[in-house]
Structure formats: structure tokens, C-alpha cells
Chain A
């Protein structure tokens, strides 16, 4: 669940700003694949990790360009990007799973510090980072303002483009980090391992009270959403519910979450 959490933490400010980044799950896949391929080519593993994170940032920058400069709707821009990078990951691997057998790399996904699994620490670190950005910096405040009313924020002298670029780049990096985490856990990178995770990511944020229409939300709510969905999945596994039915139930949870958001907003208006 930690990899979902990292992506959801980064998705929260994007949703608050009134946008959506659908490409983040695909960025994760590409990052895992890049680490595996570059390591197989003889690169230093940690250099490969750094490179994958940089590519994640570049994907975020490309999204920011499409959204703020070309002014493509964020949903479409990141949906297109999702296809591009998912395709690239398949092209690079030929659709095959590549293993990464390095004990020190395994630490990211399997290690523990004082008995706490490292992925949990990493996820918590991301949540804390985005919490600080949103609650304690001018950038965070402008993200709420942009989501609340992008025209008014511009008239207040806020640089909408700059703020959106920063959070989209952070989302790309978070996606890459998630992908590296999963690759480490599996000791392998599979090009299509994370297809569809973006829906869980957005469901978690919405479940945690972040509004799809922008302007409100916070990361701790998102964390709660991640925990609820994680518990649900684990519970279903323990109850021996088939993975097919798990899909059905997760879909219903997403619908319920969005439905609750809508009803809540209507109440607020009335």
C-alpha cells in the first residue's frame, strides 16, 4: 500500500489545485523498467535510480507544459501522457519482466529501521513533505487559491503556471519513487505491473475529503483514504475473496467516495 500512498500524497495538492494527474501510475512503471534496464546494461544501480527519478520529473514537466502553456485540459493531457509512457515501458522491455537481483536495492522495498518497514517510513516522509508544503508555505496557500478560483488567483498576482509546474513535477518524481519501490519489493520490473493504480490513488484522496472540484482537502485525509482502501484489500484477501470480486468492490468504493463528495458539496451550497 505504501506505493499507493506516495502517489496519493503527491496527487493531493494536484486535486486541490483543481487538476488531476493520471500519468503518475505509468511514470511508476517506466521508472521501475528504467532501473532494471540500465542496471542490466551495467550502470551503477543508484545512478540508475537517480536517472529514473529525473525522468519522473521530466514527465511532470512535460505535463506542466501541456497544461499551462498549450492549455490542454489536465485530464486529457495526463491521459495522453499515461498512454505514451506506458507504451514506452512496453517498447523498452518488449513486454517482458526484467529482474533486479541486488541485495542493497531490496532494502527500499523490504528493509526495516527499528522494526518499521522502510516503505512505511518512505510513505510517511512523502506525506509529511506535502503536509508541510500545503500548510506552511506560500506555495501551498497559492495551490488552495488556484483550486478555489484560478481567475481570482491570477488577479491577486499569483503565478498559477509556476505553482502548477512545481506540483506536477513533484507528482512525476513521486510516481517514479513508487515504481522504484515496487521494483525493489518484487526484485523485478514488469512493464504493466501498475496499470490501473491511478484509480486507487484518486479514490484514496477523494475518500479522504479532497474535493474533485478543487480548493479544499489535506494530505492526512488522503492518508486515511489510503489506509481504508489498504485495509479493505487486505481484508478481502484474508476473507479469501477472489481477485475478480476485489476489482468489483474497489470500483464500488470509488463510486461511493465520489458520490459522497458530490452530496457533501451540494449540502455546502445549500
Chain B
């Protein structure tokens, strides 16, 4: 253990983290050398964020040890982690938009006069200027944070990390919202910091990033470490295999049905800054999977079709007729339904009863000469309760009394009750238990067999492969590949999802 090669600045040994019903990290090993850039990759939900939160002291591990320069340490909270000179820069900087750059940099550790404790603004501004200059960033320390671009805000965050003499810098998908040019700048700064002895943990979905700046890469899958490699000793293909190589062990019952008429056709859909050139078609009886990484623009396309954030250009045809959809109300009138990914925030009516939640979107259809028709409502709610196996004492209980998983099912029940032609489901089984997942898949399959068309956005490979008749893969706002059910494999989907789009 005294061998110089083994002297790590930070080491995680057998770290596990449990959340109710979920093993987020399962005996993870990870180590970081001084002056090294170490990349962490993995699918969505592989445990990367949890790992970061453990290193920054936000979460405490349930098992395992954290070693700092070979000594066991406990990060009770982020302040303790800060004391060990660990700082993090996120994709969306968590800063204070109304404060100035200087104030943001020195927040929590201001420069004060030794005796009077007066805040020494002039000194702080100069130091801020010096730090930003050393990063090669041309940013006015007196500008408000909110007036800066995301890339500039990241620079300020890095400057903040330098102001506390960070020795370990964690960068969580820093390039995700940067332009090419800004990405290059970030690479250069990260390398410069490395040469001055700072270690960096670099999390990214972009293989380009990893091969460009990292020395080593650790792959996480389902909360477990799959291995650590030197980047020049592992090919992109093997890396993908390590990321996705799990067995499909759940049963996905999508029935094969012959497709009917074309329900939805999208041509050249474009929304500034989110996606471009999106074309696809959905037929009756089809489940069309949308694969890709978080942030690839899948959800934004769905939201444009549903009228939440209408597209800037392109055509949407419903059953062959061109339509203009400017609001969810209009989308529903064309028979399009939407299951939001953030169901508790965007789908659930917490103070209302289970019945009222399930029937709210069809309430107008259930009336009898303009009056509510409770017996019809109760019939539908009870049927849904049974169908989705929602564990509740009855339909009149408030949804707030249900468990998270059952609340999710109520939102799914609301969509299914609406009996629409085209369903857009964003992560339909996210956060539900295995039994409910099977039930939801069964229902999706039945609905398709009845002649509905379903667009399913999913980050779960087995779900995409098992449920979809066809799969569209998106990357950085564009469709990079389309596969039929027979062609699609985990490796092909992942390859298309991480591929760098070459702009012509």
C-alpha cells in the first residue's frame, strides 16, 4: 500500500447506497489519482448521480468506505466535503442569478478584513478577475450571473472551485449544453488544471469528451462498477458493451399485430435550440419507441406534438390531415394524449381524490345533459383501480394518501381512461414496481392491438427493445437512426445514441 502507484487522492471501496425499493449503488469501487482526469460513464439510472452525491457529501453511503489520501473519511454533509477541497460543476450551474459574478465566487467564503471583519469587495473583485483571467475567460466580475451564458456560468463555477483551492473537481455533464467552440475551451481549461495538479471526475454521455480529455474511464451499470480502463486501452465498441451488456430478464408482451392506417405523420419538425429535421410516421397498432439519452430532445419533440411548446417549423399530420397544434387542448381534440415524464409535478392533482384524478380529463364526456354523472365515473375509476392493481382503500381517498408508485399508476390510469387514438408516453414505467410495469406493458400492448398508435419514450433499453415495433434513436436534437424490431440491438441503439452528429 505504500507503492506510489497506489497512492490515490480519493478512493471509494465497496460503496453501496439504498433508496426505498432501489439499490442505487451496489459495492462500487472507484479511485482517482492526483492530477488525473477520470471519466465515469453509464446509462441513465446507472448510479452516476448517486456516486457524485456521495463524493460531495450530499448522500452518505450505507456501506463501504471513502478514503482521502489513504485515510478513511466521512463526508457528513457538503460542507465537510468542501473542507477536503472537493468542488463540483454541474450541467446547469446552481448559482444565484441575481448576484454578481464576484458575489457568486466568494459566496460562503468571503474575503474579510482581519480585524474589522468588513467585507473586502475590492480585493474580492480583483481576485475574481485574476481567477477568471487564469481560465482565459473574458467575464466582467461585476456582471450579474443571470446575464451570462451557460458556458460562462460554468467558468464562474470553475473559478469558484479554484478560489477554494479545489484539489478534486467534479464535472457533471459539463459539455451537454455547450457549443463546439465552448466545449473546446472547456477541454483546454480542464487540461490546464490537470497539469497544475487538480484531479477531475468527468461525467459525460459523449464519448468524444472521454477520448479527448480523460486518462481513465470507469463504467457503471445498474449501480455496479463494470470496470476501470485506460481510455487508450478500450475501444468505443467495448465501452458500449460494458455499459449496456445486461440480460433482458423481464417479459415484454408486445403482441405482433398488422398495422392499420397512418395515424400520425411528422415532417421536418424543428424547434430552435431543441431539435431539428424530425420526421417519422406512426400507424394504428404500432408502438414506436423513442430511444436516446436524457437531453437528446426526445421529450421536447413529444411536447411540441402535444402543443405544450409548439415547433417553429415542420408539419404534423393526423390521419392524413395537416393540423396546427398550439395547445394541449387542441392536441386532445385531435385524439392525442400525453403522459408527462414528471408525473407527480405535471400529472397529479394531490388534493383531489383518486376518482377525481382518473376522470378529470374525460369529465366532459361523462356528463348527462351537462351534469356530472357519478355512477359512470365510479365505474371507470373502479375498473382502472383493478386493471392497474392500484393499492388503495377506495376511489374516494385522496391521492396524497397513496404511495409514490401507486400515485404514478393513477396518472397512467388518467391517460388510459381518456380513450384517445394516439398516446405519447414519456417513460411510461419510470418509478413503478415490476408488477405494475408488466401491467402497464400489457395494457399498452392491448391498446395497440385495438388500433391505437403509441409513441413510447424510454431510457430503458430492455423496454425499448421489448415493446417497440420500430425504434427511433435521437442524439443532440436529431434522429440518428431508425431500426425495426428485428434489427434493433442494445449495442446498435447505444451507438446511435452517443454518436456525434457531423454537421454538414
Contact = CB atoms under 8 A, between A and B. Distances in A.
B503 interface: no
Contacts of B367: 138
Contacts of B361: 156-158
B352 A156 contact: no
Contacts of A151: 345-346
B395 to A, nearest CB: 14
A158 B350 contact: no
Interface in B296-350: 306, 308, 327-329, 331-333, 338, 340, 345-350
Nearest to A141: B363
Given A136-B371, A158-B329, A268-B400, 11 more contacts: A138-B370, A141-B360, A148-B352, A149-B346, A149-B350, A151-B345, A153-B349, A155-B346, A156-B328, A157-B331, A214-B351
B363 A138 contact: yes
B29 interface: no
A159 B333 CA distance: 12
Interface in B351-390: 351-352, 356, 360-361, 363-364, 367, 370-372
Contacts of A159: 329
- Size category, A interface: 20 to 34
Interface in A122-164: 135-138, 140-142, 144-145, 147-149, 151-159
A158 B338 contact: no
B349 A155 contact: no
Pairs of residues from A and B, 9 with the lowest C-beta to C-beta distance, nearest first: A215-B351, A148-B349, A157-B332, A156-B361, A216-B351, A138-B363, A148-B351, A157-B329, A149-B349
A211 interface: yes
A144 B328 contact: no
A95 to B, nearest CB: 44
B414 interface: yes
A147 B360 CA distance: 13
B371 A145 contact: no
12 contacts: A136-B372, A138-B370, A140-B372, A142-B360, A144-B349, A145-B356, A155-B308, A155-B338, A156-B332, A158-B329, A215-B350, A269-B400
B125 to A, nearest CB: 36
B350 A148 contact: yes
Nearest to B400: A268
A155 B360 CA distance: 11
A159 B356 CA distance: 17
Contacts of A138: 363-364, 367, 370, 372
A141 B351 contact: no
A267 to B, nearest CB: 11
A59 B317 CA distance: 42
Interface string B398-434: 0010000000000000100000000000000000000
A137 B367 CA distance: 8
Contact of A155 (B328, B352, B364): B328
A216 B327 CA distance: 27
A52 B336 CA distance: 45
Given A154-B328, A156-B360, A157-B328, A137 B371 contact: yes
Interface residues of B, number: 29
B331 to A, nearest CB: 8
Nearest to A132: B371
A145 B352 contact: yes
B441 to A, nearest CB: 23
Contacts of A157: 328-329, 331-333, 361
Nearest to B414: A156
Nearest to A148: B349
A159 B414 CA distance: 17
Given A141-B363, A156-B361, A215 B346 contact: no
B416 to A, nearest CB: 13
Contacts of A211: 351
B307 to A, nearest CB: 10
A85 B268 CA distance: 52
A136 B368 CA distance: 10
B305 to A, nearest CB: 13
Contact of B363 (A142, A154, A216, A269): A142
Contact of A144 (B308, B338, B356): B356
B308 to A, nearest CB: 7
Contacts of B349: 144-145, 148-149, 152-153, 215
Contact of B370 (A137, A141, A153, A268): A137
B330 to A, nearest CB: 9
A147 B400 CA distance: 15
A105 B345 CA distance: 52
Nearest to B328: A155
A152 B347 contact: yes
Nearest to B420: A157
B19 to A, nearest CB: 20
Contacts of A144: 349, 351-352, 356
Nearest to A146: B349
Interface in A192-239: 211, 214-216
Contacts of B346: 149, 151-152, 155
Contacts of A216: 351
A182 B331 CA distance: 48
Residue among B332, B338, B363, B370 having the largest count of chain A Cβ atoms under 10 Å: B363
Contacts of A145: 349, 352, 356, 360
Contacts of B356: 141, 144-145
A129 B295 CA distance: 49
Interface string B459-493: 00000000000000000000000000000000000
Contacts of B400: 268-269
Contacts of B363: 138, 141-142
Interface string A149-188: 1011111111100000000000000000000000000000
Nearest to A215: B351
B360 A153 contact: yes
A42 B385 CA distance: 65
A132 to B, nearest CB: 9
Nearest to A149: B349
A215 B360 contact: no
A195 B58 CA distance: 52
Contacts of A214: 351
Contacts of A153: 349, 360
A214 B349 CA distance: 11
A129 B308 CA distance: 35
B460 to A, nearest CB: 23
B213 to A, nearest CB: 39
B168 to A, nearest CB: 37
Contacts of B347: 149, 152, 155
Residue among A148, A151, A211 having the largest count of chain B Cβ atoms under 10 Å: A148
Nearest to B349: A148
A157 B414 CA distance: 12
Contacts of B338: 155
A137 B374 CA distance: 11
A141 B328 contact: no
Contacts of B329: 154, 157-159
